Amino acid sequence: MRADHSGGRKHAREEGEAAATQLATARAGTAYANGDPILEVRDLVKHYPLTQGVLFKKQVGAVKAVDGVSFDLSAGETLGIVGESGCGKSTVARMLVHLERPTAGAIRYKGEDITRLSGRALKAVRRNIQMVFQDPYTSLNPRMTVGDIIGEPYEIHPEVAPKGERRRKVQDLLDVVGLNPEYINRYPHQFSGGQRQRIGIARGLALNPEIIVADEPVSALDVSVQAQVINLLDSLQSEFGLSFVFIAHDLSIVRHISDRVGVMYLGRIVEIGTDEQIYEHPTHPYTQALLSAVPVPDPMARESRERIILHGDVPSPANPPSGCRFRTRCWKAQERCALEVPLLAVPAAFRLAPGPASHDSACHFAEEKHVVASREERDTPRGEGRGPEIEAPGTAVRKRPPHDPEAQGDIQP
């Protein structure tokens, strides 16, 4: 059934625009200038103890889920984090939003170490760093209305929206994410997957955060809906000056949205740089292998590229290899790789020759390899080497996401 809400749309839009201005103004006092590091993560570690025994538990080891991760996030930037399942991406995300306490390391927000904050100080910081979860089907409470779900954060932070203003604020947020504000009393099951993720995003925006940590926010969605949600995140970022940590295993999606990309393997970042550096000038063998596996729709480009097949499984994070963790699957591995942990830094070979290959890569034998089509190659017409892209009909980045009448037609009465 197609819901008709055209009458109230213009009014809702005007109100929504005012709301957007209000949200932006509310954050203006604390906003950092674009480019300043808003988040600095240093040597972050999360080890989960492995125990034995029922009555008397004895620690016999640890799952080294995250083992020395460092990166900066600049204001207004999107940092993508990619890697295979189990490499520690979600654990990093959970630590950033204080759902997990790090075993060691530091997270600095605007220069202040927030790692071990508690009580009021933690509450204040948490407001500014919000999370959007992976699965819109399970992350929304089916017994709560959309209005209650989006407005829930106001119970903990009533200073952001006093009781009398909450309904209006939630409606504004619905409008901001492209949903009809009149749907405020509906339940999650009455929405499609993409719409539910919009609801999750609206909840993430409720407290006017500066940083959004999005953990696989589109992995559970259909491809065409993925593009719509990505484009929504893109436009919200420009509108509210948000900084994103965007976690995903799909490299094409990460490229589409990220300014910089960090590649994780077995609890560590092995390579980090701008999207051009990582996708067009990767120097770490693991990044090259990951990129070589990205599906290429164009048959000619597909045939002409080299496919790197990695052998063996990812080792257990409870017992990672010595030295370089990737060495057991790496075709370049030598004795040194078992003995010395490669540092995440610009490799010596590229230090004196600045160029796109000159970026941080944790490999003793870092070497540039052209694996995916460059931007120019991708821009050439199909059939002449055009690479993968994300696009869905009618989803070009807009200043303000419109209500999506097609998707709203999905709503069940």
Ligand X SMILES: Nc1ncnc2c1ncn2[C@@H]1O[C@H](COP(=O)(O)OP(=O)(O)OP(=O)(O)O)[C@@H](O)[C@H]1O
Tell me if 251 contacts ligand X by CB under 6 A.
no
Q: Is 226 in the site for ligand X (CB under 6 A)?
A: no
For residues 399 and 246, what is the distance between their CA atoms, to the nearest angstrom? 20
**d(C-alpha 98, C-alpha 81), whole Å:** 18
For ligand X, which residue of 317, 347, 387, 401 counts as binding (CB under 6 A)? 317
Let me know if 11 is exposed, middle or buried by CB neighbors in 10 A (0-12, 13-18, 19+).
exposed
Q: Give the residue with the Cβ less far from ligand X, 68 or 405.
A: 68
**Binding status of residue 139 toward ligand X by CB under 6 A:** no
104 membership: H or E segment, kind and range: strand 104-109
Q: Say how far residue 163 (Cα) sits from the centre of its chain.
A: 32
Nearest distance from C-beta of residue 85 to ligand X, angstroms: 3
Nearer to ligand X among residue 61 and residue 86 (C-beta): 86
Q: Least Å distance between CB 103 and ligand X? A: 12
Q: Which is closer to ligand X, CB of 147 or CB of 317?
A: 317
Nearest approach, Cβ of residue 102 and ligand X (Å): 13
Least gap, CB of 330 to ligand X (angstroms): 19
Strand partners, 218: none
Which ranges constitute the DSSP H helices of 44-105? Answer: 89-96
Nearer to ligand X, 63 or 73 (CB): 63
Extract the tokens encoding 266: 């077995």
| Residue 305 DSSP class | S
Q: Does 47 bind ligand X (CB under 6 A)?
A: no
Helix (H, G, I), strand (E, B) or coil at 394: coil
First to last CA, the chain: 7
Name the residue nearer to ligand X (CB basis): 207 or 221.
221
Binding to ligand X by CB under 6 A, coded x per residue (else -) over 6-45, reads ----------------------------------------
Q: How far is the CB of 56 from ligand X (least distance, A)?
A: 20
Residue 91 or 288 having the CB closest to ligand X = 91
Q: Which residues, numbered 51-80, are part of the site for ligand X (CB under 6 A)?
A: 63, 65
Closer to ligand X by Cβ: residue 39 or 63: 63
CA atoms within 13 A on the CB side of 240: 32
Quote the least distance from Cβ 265 to ligand X, whole Å: 10
Segment interacting with ligand X, rule: CB under 6 A, options 18-26, 81-89, 226-234, 377-385: 81-89
The residue (of 344 and 366) whose beta carbon lies closer to ligand X is: 344
Q: Which helix (H) or strand (E) holds 131?
A: strand 129-132
Footprint of ligand X on residues 82-101 (CB under 6 A)?
Answer: 83, 85-91
CB of 79 to ligand X, least distance (A): 15
Contacts with 72 (C-beta within 8 Å, 6 or more apart), sequence order? 37, 39, 40, 41
Binding residues with ligand X: total (CB under 6 A): 13
Residue 384's alpha-carbon distances to 333, 370, 381, 390, in angstroms, are 35, 17, 6, 18
Nearest distance in Å: CB 112, ligand X? 25
Task: Give the integer Cα–Cα distance in Å for 305 and 118.
Answer: 51
> Angle 6-28/166-176 helices, nearest 10 degrees?
100
Residue 244 pairs in a beta bridge with 78, 212
Q: Which is nearer to ligand X, 46 or 169 (CB)?
A: 46
- Nearest distance from C-beta of residue 269 to ligand X, angstroms: 12
* Closest among 334, 352, 330 to 270, alpha carbons compared: 330
Residues that bind ligand X (CB under 6 A): 48, 63, 65, 83, 85-91, 249, 317
